[in-house]
Structure 1
């Protein structure tokens, strides 16, 4: 795909996105990394595009990732809902999402998981991944990064 074709596809994706959302910004996409509790499924399902960080407070990679996701949440304000869930506080999430290590970021479209990245990656890698998901394209594959594994 040459540059003009890619630009045309991205323009079409933006128009389709505006049409689907009625031109209204996502009310849940508040530009923050929101801490979730037991009602996480309901909250994730409200937004058209959501990202959920599954983490543990004892994970050093998780603590490094939080500021990156906060910056990305601000960048994608009114487009993507960003949330985080402590799997030690909500242990059922570990089994539900088949968590083998943290940090784990799962992307959702209308409440359905469409992609996941395990481990710490760069800001640019997450940015490209999120943009592809938000535009409705197949999420690109990102190799796993450093993570805290479970025994």
Structure 2
């Protein structure tokens, strides 16, 4: 899964031609580690429909602050430069795909 930073967030996420699922994460976050294989599977299965990236809030805190991220993991879907959905916490792949269906 691709990582983004404060420096390239606008280019990689907001200007993307595809909807982008961003995981706001941190190395010390157990639910984030639990969610990693789910996001990798979704990125692979939905390639061409949605781009999946992660942003480490410890090394790149400005973007997390900009979008009011207070809990980890936070998942946000961006379409055409705007956040269109936000979810907090780890979840099963089936549930995540159901939630993404509403915004894709």
1:74 to 44, 49, 54: 44
DSSP-derived class of the 2:58 partner: coil
Give the structure with the higher percent strand: 2
Structure 2: state its 5+ residue gaps.
none
Alignment length (residue pairs): 102
Alpha-carbon RMSD: 1.0
1:40 to 2, 6, 9: 9
Q: TM-score, normalised by structure 2?
A: 0.92
Higher RCO (Cα < 8 Å, 6 or more apart): 2
Larger Rg: 1
Deviations 1:36-58 (A, max 9, x none): 12211211021331100000110
Dislocated runs of 4+, deviation >2 Å: none
Match of 2:87 in 1: 117
Q: TM-score, normalised by structure 1?
A: 0.65
